[in-house]
Structure 1
Amino acid sequence: MKKSIFLILLLCCVVCHGENRPVNLIFDTDMAPDYDDVGALAMLHAMADLGEVNILATVSSNKCETAVPCIDVINTYFGRPDIPLGAVKGEAPDRTTWHKGLRWTDELPSRYPHRIKSTSASDNAVDVYRNVLSRMPDGSVTIVTVGFFTNLKNLLLSGPDQISPLTGRELIKAKVKLLVSMAGKFPEGKEFNVEVDAKSSQQVFSEWPTPVLLSGFEIGEQIFTGKQLAASKQIGSPVIDAFAMCLPQDDPNGRNSWDQTAVLVAVRGAGDYFDVERGTMTVMDDGSNRWEKCAEGMHARLLFKMPNEQLTGIIEDMMMHKPLSQSKQ
Structure 2
Amino acid sequence: MNRRTFTAAFAAFALSAGAAFSLDLELSPYKPVMALSGKLKSVGSDTMLHEMELWAEGFKAFYPDVKIEIEGKGSNTAPPALLSGEAQLGPMSRPMTPDEISAFEAKYGYKPTAVLVAVDALAIYVHKSNPIQCLTMEQLDRIFAENPKSGDGKSAHSWGEVGVTGEWATKPIVMFGRNSLSGTNKFFKQNVLAGGDFKDAVHQEAGSEQVVKAVASDASAIGYSGIGYKTEEVRAVPVAASFGKKCFDASFENTYTRKYPLARGLYINILKDPKTPIDTLSGEFVKYVLSKDGQSQAKKGGYYPITRNIREHELARLGLMASAQ
Q: What's the TM-score, normalizing by structure 1?
A: 0.28
Normalized per residue, the structure richer in helix is 1
Larger radius of gyration: 2
